Amino acid sequence: MGKFLKYAAAGLALLALFSCRHEPLHDGTPLRCAIISSGTQNTSSLLCGYNYALVQKLAKSEGRDSEIRLAGSRERILDSLKNGSIDLVVLPSAVSFGGDSLLTWHSIDSCGVWIFPASEEHHAHFAWKWMKQLRLHPSFPKFRQSFMDIYDPGKKLSADFISPYDSLFRVYADTLGWDWKLLAALVYQESKFKIEAHSPMGASGLMQLVPHTIRSYDCSNPLDPEENIRSGVKLLMRIKQKFSKHAADSVELTNFTLAAYNAGSTRIREGIALAKIKGVDSSRWENIASVFEEMEFNGEETKGFVRRVRYYHERYRHICP
């Protein structure tokens, strides 16, 4: 609890740091925003995440909540902006935006274009002034850098941070009894810290939650970093409890938890059952991994998943304080 209060206090301090209070421009209704993700962003930066964080802070500065989502691939998103269905569209890139008499826009920090209805030109001007003030704060460069740096644990030799979400990893890893850098390593493997990550199987967000998990763990917005991490950690906790009496020790329990997060608990239990039939120690992950090739399930992906997360964790232990 002491650690939680410590990190919660740090989070509140950061919020106060970046909130530029003004009289609300609206009646307190949520700021509705859609982010266009083309999937062609530079892999060395987290532009969707950066813009998501900025829009959240803008809304808080206005005394509002925010409802932020990704724009659908076939959605006529600018029409939605014009008809008032949403308040703001974000292009997370430095590309220019063509003129339209019904729209107004500003380039935000060269890392995004924010588009408003022309009828909300005062709001667009407020956002531009707010961003200008934010950039002057002495802590802003570090905040920005956490989204703009290159995230490759195989290349980095040292760093002051791992991701923009380190404070969330610290809080939620505590509930698992994990080193927070292990949770960061898992998320890096799943999404490379991109909140907009989406797999062909429908998994989404930082922890690549599948639709069933999203429904089961009350994740109303998988794009939201904290909601995604919180729900993913709840799933990890449930998996950990399933194997807690079976694993040989805490190291093996973590291996089983990682494997089941990737492949599902049922497949790991099938591997355990086969290992028992073969008379090998089923409480150790390496023995379970060795019998996968005798099953219909191809376990190469899962074995690689566990190996890579462990590798990233080891790297993070040395490159970040």
Catalytic residues: 190
For the chain, the 3-state helix, strand and coil shares in percent, each to the nearest 5, are 55, 10, 40
DSSP E strands: which ranges in the chain? Answer: 31-35, 66-70, 88-91, 103-107, 113-117
What secondary structure, in 3-state letters, does 2-15 show?
HHHHHHHHHHHHHH
- Residue 182 CA from chain centroid, whole number: 15
Q: How far is CA 177 from CA 169, 170, 227, 232, in A?
A: 12, 10, 19, 15
What residue type is assigned to position 242 of the chain?
Answer: K
Query: Is residue 32 within 8 Å of 67, Cβ to Cβ?
Result: yes
Looking at 96-158, list the stretches that DSSP marks H as alpha helix, in order from N- to C-terminal side: 121-135, 140-148
CB atoms within 10 A of CB 320: 18
d(CA 320, CA 300): 30
